[in-house]
Homo-oligomer: A and B are copies of this chain.
């Protein structure tokens, strides 16, 4: 019952701390025959990397992955793929002071309560550093679902503080829009609405100079997902996607399709109408249907409907603040704290590759649960 594994058929197991030797992930269950090398892992690792701009932490990590197993002559063999990403820029002394003081909003206290013992360097296992392993695994999942069914997962920043992006059609947002502004410069905040992006950058920079932090919302969209993924009852696709996103640091809310807005709606306005199919079928063939709208968010009864899967994650403001905060220490005494370690003033800009990774892992997992390890291998 330890909790470092995720997925059943595409099974990801991670290990590693913020300031230990490195982070490791073992991906078990990737079908054989998928072309794979370190080159496939680098782009998303670079998108997640610290030190990208003034908006993110100044920790510098090369985040260079080493594939240790499971690949032969450039193709997966079906055996587990182990990847090692070494930590290089650990300044543990930054954290010496916090070994004795519980940082508000962090897991220092709860780890002590659970284990009676903790690695205080950079938050140890509770650091968002562990997501580097998820992103490496997610890059494999993305390749797999693309080869298996043309699946694509894109995440972007929808909201920072009160700045909300205007996105007409989540399913048509492109990676280029997320990564690059119309003028060709990097989209530092990864919001595909350029006007909102500019205001978000200003807001984050203002917050940073205030020695404060700010929250936001990321929207994640999976397209080309065939109808039929997910299990009834407990392992609904929605349930596993929800777990995947809530397993990420700082996520306090998740919604699909109309989400919380559905609470105010009537069924007659909420139900998405099935459209007649292009071609009639007769049982046992099942028609391929679309709906006129997508308030259901791409899943019905917990099983994918073939429409885009649209979800949003609410991310709290970074808990580490460079300003002084009241708190308690490991003896239970009142204390004050000013975080000296490096940290992001807003977690949103670096969130998209992480959110995409978890969604891709869930889709790969449910695809393989449905079709088996052999079927996909034969299609590659």
User: In the complex, which range does the number of interface residues on chain A fall in?
Assistant: 35 or more
Kindly provide the distance from the CB of A103 to the nearest chain B CB, expressed in whole angstroms.
9
- Contacts A15-B82, A217-B260, A315-B263 given: A246-B253 contact, CB under 8 Å? no
Besides the known contacts A110-B305, A263-B315, 17 further A-B residue pairs in the complex with CB atoms under 8 A apart = A4-B232, A13-B13, A31-B374, A32-B377, A104-B271, A104-B272, A105-B296, A105-B300, A106-B301, A110-B228, A113-B228, A114-B227, A148-B379, A217-B263, A247-B302, A255-B314, A371-B375
Complex CA distance for A300 and B118, rounded to whole angstroms: 15
- Contacts A1-B9, A102-B274, A242-B246 given: A377-B33 contact, CB under 8 Å? yes
Kindly provide the distance from the CB of A74 to the nearest chain B CB, expressed in whole angstroms.
12
Checking B247, B270, B283, B376 against A330 with a beta-carbon cut-off of 8 angstroms, the contacting residue is B283
Complex CA distance for A325 and B267, rounded to whole angstroms: 11
CB <8 Å contact, B147 and A379: yes
A68 at the interface (CB under 8 A from B): yes
Copies of this chain, whole number:
4
Residue of A21, A148, A369 with most partner-chain B CB within 10 A: A369
A56 at the interface (CB under 8 A from B): no
A319 at the interface (CB under 8 A from B): yes
Checking B31, B69, B107, B254 against A15 with a beta-carbon cut-off of 8 angstroms, the contacting residue is B69
Checking B234, B259, B368 against A314 with a beta-carbon cut-off of 8 angstroms, the contacting residue is B259
Which residues of A9-34 have CB atoms within 8 Å of chain B's CB atoms?
9, 11, 13-17, 20-24, 26, 28-29, 31-34
Sampled A-B contacts (13; CB under 8 Å): A1-B369, A3-B233, A15-B80, A21-B67, A22-B68, A110-B303, A113-B226, A162-B264, A215-B263, A249-B301, A266-B317, A275-B334, A372-B372
Checking B5, B22, B236, B267 against A212 with a beta-carbon cut-off of 8 angstroms, the contacting residue is B267
Checking B8, B287, B316, B332 against A332 with a beta-carbon cut-off of 8 angstroms, the contacting residue is B287
